[in-house]
Amino acid sequence: MDDFYVSHSHFSDPGAQAEWLDTTPRDVAALREAAHELVFHYWALGDIAEHGFPAERHEEITLRYASDMFARLRELDPTPPGGPRPPLHRIVGCCRDFTLLFVSMARHHGIPARARTGFASYLMAGWYLDHVVAEVHDGSGWRLVEPQLTSGYRDPVDGTELDLLDVPRDRFLTGADAWTAARAGDVDPARLVVSPDLDVPFLRGLPYARYSLALDLASLNKHEMLQWDLWGDLTPAASLTPAAVARTDELAELMADADVEQLRVAFEADDVRVPPVIRSVTPPGQLPVEVVLR
């Protein structure tokens, strides 16, 4: 099963930058630390201009492929990943980018790794925030790895140090798990958000849980999409019709206990498969643009 996640996707393949990664160790903890130093979050620490970034570097959040991300990083600083990098030597990005770069380095070293899209309850007390983490297979099972946060990070809910190499499953809910928990009444859907103060119906509650589930299914099929990509009926105008709810229930149940082959078959369905041409809405709220995928 795990061989599928050892090989690269179009998105995780470092391409011509592969040799630049050869000096990184085949060690999950070290690769997590390396990935943490490669990205500067585009909003988590406030306006990037306050940290010395020129305004045009905001465009780096649209970098989609690890090969392009590593090329930009190498341009900013030729030192291979693995040590501290000043903020301006990192690319501007988000949780998906920390994760994709970690997954790329892990796969480069033959470690089964994949991205998972869902909601973290350890970023802001009382909320499940939209988030992407990695998952690695250690020979006995999959464990969640958090590349974005700093070592020693303490969960604001209870003040305990979060295990960044084995994030508890009740602290990070995949899209499917969040959907199922919200439908069962175990999680308040209103707590599933991109941001508590972002009052956009599509970006909170069950509509966003459904979107997160679709992104996660894509990730499980090695289509590590941007957090603002749209395809099929994944649009802000989409409504949760009874048929849409039933279909999402079906996918959530399948994703809870499916093997790779079942996930690949499920991803062939027209309503979830990522087409060659998608739409993307780059924050903050730009108009959708068509993107032709490689």
CB–CB of 171/121 below 8 Å?
yes
**Torsion angles phi and psi, residue 93, rounded to 5:** -165, -155
pTM: 0.97
pLDDT score at 128 = 98
Give tens-digit pLDDT for 177-216.
999 999 999 999 999 999 999 888 899 999 999 999 999 9
Distance of alpha carbon 237 from alpha carbon 90, whole angstroms: 35
pLDDT score at 197 = 92
pLDDT score at 239 = 84
SS3 220: helix
Report the DSSP pairing between strands 192-193 and 229-230.
unpaired
* Token representation of residue 58: 């905001």
Q: How sure is the predictor about 2, in pLDDT bands with cuts at 50, 70 and 90?
A: low
Give tens-digit pLDDT for 100-144.
999 999 999 999 999 999 999 999 999 999 999 999 999 999 999
Is the pLDDT confidence value at 286 over 90?
A: no
pLDDT score at 97 = 98
Give tens-digit pLDDT for 214-247.
999 999 999 999 999 999 988 888 789 999 999 9
Give tens-digit pLDDT for 31-49.
999 999 999 999 999 999 9
pLDDT score at 215 = 98
Residue, of 285 and 146, whose pLDDT is higher: 146
Distance of alpha carbon 269 from alpha carbon 263, whole angstroms: 11
Is the pLDDT confidence value at 1 over 80?
A: no
CB-CB neighbours of 265 under 10 Å? 11
Give tens-digit pLDDT for 9-38.
999 999 999 999 999 999 999 999 999 999
pLDDT score at 140 = 92
Distance of alpha carbon 38 from alpha carbon 173, whole angstroms: 25
CB–CB of 12/224 below 8 Å?
yes
Distance of CA 229 to CAs 10, 78, 144, 214, 280, Å?
Answer: 16, 30, 23, 11, 4
Distance of alpha carbon 284 from alpha carbon 57, whole angstroms: 14
Taking residues 166-172, report their average pLDDT: 97
CB–CB of 187/128 below 8 Å?
yes
Which residue range forms the structural domain that includes residue 139? 2-292
Number of domains in the chain: 1
Q: By CB neighbour count within 10 A (0-12 exposed, 13-18 middle, 19+ buried), where does 173 fall?
A: buried
Taking residues 64-70, report their average pLDDT: 98
pLDDT score at 238 = 79
Residue, of 287 and 79, whose pLDDT is higher: 79
Distance of alpha carbon 134 from alpha carbon 97, whole angstroms: 11
Q: Please, what is the Cα angle at 282 between 32 and 21, to 5 degrees?
A: 30
